[in-house]
């Protein structure tokens, strides 16, 4: 049975609960001076800017004033433009979490737009009061590197039964039923600069109504997860984090569910590609939505070598590699969202990055895409690839090449006329809600909300 047929059983149709996680840090006092000294030596609190850096800038400014005094004004003007662009309030995870909490309290964006009702919820492992019977939980999962990554699970609301007699027994109480009404699990790999706590939860509710649980994680440097905003220091770590959390979540929350799929959007398509390539026996197939899995023109090797000499080798980070100066269009929401109201909502979140890619991130994405491009001819996992023909961010021709070059015997491609890059949350309601393609693999208006053979 094909992957498309399997998913047809469950349906693929795509409104959410955002649970505000409250941190309670308790600092235990006590300890002698020796212990205190050991602790401060082992875990120093380093300043954001050290004295040497400040002194270096002072010397440079003095030298410029000696060479030509107006040059100091020129440099100051340049820094006045570069520094505010390169360093922003939401660059660190703590600030993003604080800003997110305030954002959800107010429930309005900067223009006064009221946020959707579905974004309110309860604490981790509690029950959602929404009428649609969907249980949404979120929390933080710690990866191997000790980083706290935001996670989200949406599933049909867990049934409750009475523990005790039904005839007024005082000891009778509500307890969880032994199983959730889940027929399959989709592990979602989101795209670059995206999150899984906002519009994704609204649209992917349609999955849950069909009995499909949605498990998702915000990568390092994305959403409310630890790490500088939109910084991907090492591609392999990002892939490993996603896979290890998916295994943890599916085995602990859904131990009796045998069907497990990956879904990757844009950059998440590359993440899903690597995950299923490395762990083919763990997942039953993958859904690619406008995936970043191939590039038309590969830069010459000498260009890549020069770039890595400046930015650092793959997996490394230096001061320059953190800068958002990559020669790329950067944040282009008007090319991603066809529905401008959805675009306004997406742009309202305080975790939004909104700049050119950081140099290290550009390096990692380039290397990942080059490697994936060279292995597509050996990619034999079951997959469906979805792509809008009006996509100007990832070329639909690359999805066609993925489909044509892959030796997989269980594969399908859906190309949609008039659709943009963000198929699951950026299209009009009419496009998302269409339940059946209107003709072949290139329908005038088809929906990514239904997968069928």
Q: Beta strand pairing status for 286-289 and 383-388?
A: parallel
Residue 379 has pLDDT above 80, yes or no: yes
pLDDT confidence tier of residue 121, bands split at 50, 70 and 90:
very low
Handedness of CA 333, 337, 338, 341 (dihedral sign): negative
Is 154 a residue whose pLDDT tops 60? yes
Question: How confident is residue 306, by pLDDT bands cut at 50, 70 and 90?
Answer: confident
C-alpha closest to that of 144 among 44, 234, 265, 271: 234
Chain segment 411-445, per-residue pLDDT in tens: 999 999 999 999 989 998 778 765 333 333 333 43
Write down the residue that tokens 């892939």 correspond to: 239
How far out from the chain centre does Cα 2 lie? Answer: 28
Q: d(Cα 141, Cα 125) in Å, to the nearest integer?
A: 14
- At 239, phi and psi to the nearest 5? -65, -45
Render pLDDT for 345-363 as a digit per residue (tens, 0 to 9): 899 899 999 999 999 999 9
Of the candidates 394, 429, 448, the residue with the CA atom closest to the CA atom of residue 268: 394
Over residues 3-49, the pLDDT tens digits come to: 655 555 554 443 333 323 222 223 334 444 454 343 334 444 556 66
Out of 27-36, 300-309, 371-380, 410-419, least confident range? 27-36
Q: How far apart are CA 238 and CA 42, in angstroms?
A: 28
Residue 341 pLDDT > 90, yes or no? no
pLDDT in tens, 252-270: 999 999 999 999 999 999 9
What pLDDT, on a 0 to 100 scale, did the predictor assign at position 178? 36
Domains of the chain in start order, with CATH, are 3-19+90-433 (3.40.50.1820), 50-87 (no CATH)
Identify which has the larger pLDDT, 242 or 81. Answer: 242
pLDDT at position 103 is 87
**What's the distance, CA 326 to chain centroid?**
20
């Amino acid at each position: 049975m094909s992957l498309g047929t399997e998913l047809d059983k469950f349906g693929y149709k795509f409104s959410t609960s955002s649970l505000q996680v409250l941190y309670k840090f308790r600092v235990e006092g006590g300890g002698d001076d020796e212990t205190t000294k050991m602790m401060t030596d082992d875990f120093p609190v380093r300043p954001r800017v050290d004295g040497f850096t400040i002194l270096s800038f002072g010397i440079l400014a003095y030298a410029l004033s000696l060479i030509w005094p107006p040059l100091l004004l020129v440099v100051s003007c340049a820094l006045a433009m570069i520094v505010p662009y390169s360093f922003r309030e939401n660059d660190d995870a703590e600030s993003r979490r604080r800003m997110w909490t305030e954002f959800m309290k107010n429930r309005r964006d900067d223009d006064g737009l009221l946020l959707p009702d579905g974004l309110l919820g309860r604490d981790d492992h509690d029950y959602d009061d929404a009428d649609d019977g969907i249980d949404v939980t979120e929390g933080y999962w710690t990866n191997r590197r000790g980083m706290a990554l935001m996670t989200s699970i949406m599933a049909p609301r867990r049934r409750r039964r009475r523990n005790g007699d039904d005839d007024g027994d005082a000891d009778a109480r509500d307890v969880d039923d032994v199983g959730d009404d889940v027929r399959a699990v989709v592990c979602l790999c989101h795209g670059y600069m995206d999150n899984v706590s906002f519009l994704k939860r609204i649209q992917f509710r349609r999955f849950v109504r069909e009995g499909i649980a949605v498990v998702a994680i915000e990568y390092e440097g994305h959403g409310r997860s630890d790490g500088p905003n939109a910084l991907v220091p090492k591609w392999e770590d990002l892939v490993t984090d996603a896979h290890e959390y998916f295994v943890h979540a599916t085995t602990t929350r859904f131990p009796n569910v045998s069907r497990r799929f990956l879904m990757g959007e844009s950059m998440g398509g590359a993440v899903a590609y690597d995950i299923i390539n490395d762990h083919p026996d763990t997942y039953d197939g993958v859904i690619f939505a406008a995936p970043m899995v191939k590039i038309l023109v590969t830069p010459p090797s000498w260009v890549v070598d020069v770039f890595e000499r400046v930015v650092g080798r793959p997996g490394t980070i230096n001061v320059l590699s953190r800068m958002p100066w990559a020669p790329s269009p950067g944040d282009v929401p008007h090319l991603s969202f066809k529905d401008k109201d959805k675009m306004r909502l997406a742009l309202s979140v305080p975790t939004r990055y909104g700049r050119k890619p950081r140099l290290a991130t550009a390096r990692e994405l380039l290397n990942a895409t080059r490697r994936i491009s060279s292995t597509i001819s050996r990619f034999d996992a079951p997959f469906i690839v979805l792509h809008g023909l009006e996509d100007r961010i990832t070329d639909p021709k690359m999805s066609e090449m993925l489909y044509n070059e892959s030796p997989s015997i269980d594969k399908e491609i859906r190309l949609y006329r008039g659709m943009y890059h963000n198929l699951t949350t950026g299209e009009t309601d009419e496009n998302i809600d269409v339940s059946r393609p209107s003709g072949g693999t290139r329908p005038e208006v088809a929906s990514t909300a239904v997968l069928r053979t």
